[in-house]
Structure 1
């Protein structure tokens, strides 16, 4: 005869309650373990697939590029896949513009961030890789309000691209040379744009761990955000250099004719002062709101605008510049300051040009702008190069209160010379 225990922990069937509880706990633990195992397997599979994708692609990428990409991933820019960028740009359907090294498309990520995706191309993989490394290595390490922000990049066999923040107001050239297509910017705003651009270049030259020389400062490479604040962009020709190096080794000509300094195109030593020259040419175009080489209502003579401005400045007739460029009287002081800064920046000898930090202070009005030497005397036959000792003194800590009145000889301004034609100094490319 079966006997039943009187133990209250024993149920009617004869099983101990603690045994049932233990069984339930074990079941729950096993179930959780199985679920965790499934999740781990799925994650490993995805990770393996991604690694395999990059591994397969790396067969087509040189080892130097693989190392470079690994280094840059540690510098914060995001490495996107080609599929991510195709989705963001709707298969590259919204064209923003194109240049010598790439085509730019507008994109939109799922989090609502608008981007500009620059797809690189060139005549060889070597050129594309140089362009890629120049832009990523510079922009990936720089952070400044007046520089376009680099979000990330893609480097696969099927797509080499750079992902930048989207600038809703486009590039400065559209506002200067195509004013009929958009509201005209007042000179006060143009003055702010010039100052912001100068600050961005000064940061590249003097505040980065390594000096960065841009080589291609021009209106097309100055982008404007929603508040029309200037952002320096397009670092495809940029070069990193140690601050101790006085000059830079050039393997080939860089920059755009009409903006590039003479030493870039001539067999002369090159330094970061080539950006200062280009910025000076940019200032002339901001003042005139047109390309430097275009006629500005000067009669039958198609004089180069910077030389024409110098002639008016030398004769103390800057009022003529204001009239021709339709500049209001209230902006007279700002324009005069900008003209004087531009003339200082485009001096023939690099050592007679100011540093960009000095340019910023002069544009801000914190430093007086010295009277300029004739920056174009080298273009005229029969003109002896003037003594530049005063300029050297001014830009190397010897003060800025000097005048060129005693050292500049008068010269007849001509429209063009063989030297100007040969090196395309007077022409700015479209």
Structure 2
């Protein structure tokens, strides 16, 4: 296990050691007068395992763990720059270092206000790790599901901005990078919040760096993603495209609206283990009947926008979420379209047909994801 391997503190390293290692990485790092790591654009710093031990005080402050590994809080030596060090729980013995560096280069070339910044990495025989900017307000998952008040301390205005900012980050990965990046795991746990509660998407690009079979769902045909957020094509053996991120974003949007988890195995009574309705279907039923009051009441809890404008935003978010989780990928909008609809620059209405119609029979409806069918969003990129 990773934690066993790094349990024994190494001998302290000095500044000369750190400076030499950084220079070896291409002289792309220095300690600035402002106490922060000055990383030349597009070239993350290569750190040694000894440096990361020093930065994290021998991995003393564990922030959490996820599908890719364990995250620790640290501080760049001789600065006040806090960082999050993700120790990758993966076997890369079969992967060439050149492949790892190529993917690091892809991640490092990303630059967006709603993406977590990669400061550096480690690729030693005993340790593979990534060094990110530290997000002081943790994950959206924590604020929605694990804090007092059932997430009500986050106002609707804040949650709306989180939804829009997250959509803009995924739009950037899909449409504005030199090479399209598919995240594969959009969920509240991968949306981090900075000191101003601005959202920043984390773990993008890691699907191509890590072996995922042990930590992610493997159903019929195998797949990637987290149960409850993963698009149907990921676990039915169909080709995976950027539209799988759109589906996952839709599920995240439902949880923002409901301030609660909404994933569960769909049972005959349409309830989850807690006795509450499966939220995405419940929202569809309310929208279909024109009964948006209950949805708005939950979404606007604790918010100031309880009037007409707030309700309009809720209705747009509901409609967008329902389009995002369409069964066929071609029926889902692009993330560029999602941003336009959320911000009111493009009209959107709830779909005429339930996106969950394939769940209404005893078995999943067998459909061809590449069928040539005219759809509302088929022409978007």
1:101, distance to aligned residue in structure 2 (A) = 2.0
Is 1:81–2:64 an aligned residue pair? no
User: Structure 2 residue aligned with 1:359, among 338, 355, 361?
Assistant: 338
Aligned to 2:176: 207
1:281, distance to aligned residue in structure 2 (A) = 0.3
User: Structure 1 residue aligned with 2:322, among 335, 339, 343?
Assistant: 343
Rate the CA distance shift 1:276–1:218 in 2: closer, same or farther, 3 A: same
Normalised to the residue count of structure 1, the TM-score between the two structures is 0.67
Aligned to 2:110: 142
Rate the CA distance shift 1:128–1:215 in 2: closer, same or farther, 3 A: farther
Normalised to the residue count of structure 2, the TM-score between the two structures is 0.75
Runs of 4+ in structure 1 displaced over 4 angstroms? Answer: 126-135, 294-302, 382-386, 388-391
Rate the CA distance shift 1:46–1:276 in 2: closer, same or farther, 3 A: closer
1:146 counterpart SS class: coil
Aligned to 1:29: none
Rate the CA distance shift 1:118–1:46 in 2: closer, same or farther, 3 A: closer
Equivalent residues of 1:205, 1:272 under 8 A apart: yes
Q: 1:14-34 CA distances to partner (integer Å, 9 max, x unpaired)? A: xxxxxxxxxxxxxxxxxxxxx
2:181 counterpart SS class: strand
Aligned to 1:376: 356
Superposition pairs for residues 80-159 of structure 1, below 5 Å? Answer: 80-109=47-76, 110-122=78-90, 125-126=93-94, 136-159=104-127
1:253, distance to aligned residue in structure 2 (A) = 1.3
1:206, distance to aligned residue in structure 2 (A) = 0.4
Q: Return the alpha-carbon distance in structure 2 between the equivalents of residues 134 and 284 of structure 1.
A: 35
1:269, distance to aligned residue in structure 2 (A) = 2.2
Aligned to 1:167: 135
Aligned to 1:26: none
Is 1:224–2:198 an aligned residue pair? no
Equivalent residues of 2:71, 2:84 under 8 A apart: yes
Structure 1 vs Structure 2 CA RMSD: 3.6
Of the two, which has the highest radius of gyration? 1
1:111, distance to aligned residue in structure 2 (A) = 2.0
Q: 1:305-329 CA distances to partner (integer Å, 9 max, x unpaired)? A: 1011111111111112234556463
Q: Return the alpha-carbon distance in structure 2 between the equivalents of residues 216 and 393 of structure 1.
A: 25
Q: Which stretch shifts more, 121-130 or 324-333? A: 121-130
Aligned residue pairs: how many?
A: 322
Equivalent residues of 1:348, 1:376 under 8 A apart: yes
2:327 counterpart SS class: coil
Equivalent residues of 1:297, 1:324 under 8 A apart: no
What are the ranges of 5 or more consecutive residues in structure 1 without an aligned counterpart?
Answer: 1-44, 55-72, 241-250, 398-430
Which structure has the highest helix share of the two?
A: 1
Q: Return the alpha-carbon distance in structure 1 between the equivalents of residues 198 and 54 of structure 2.
A: 29
Rate the CA distance shift 1:359–1:50 in 2: closer, same or farther, 3 A: closer
Q: 1:68-98 CA distances to partner (integer Å, 9 max, x unpaired)? A: xxxxx99411011122211111111011111
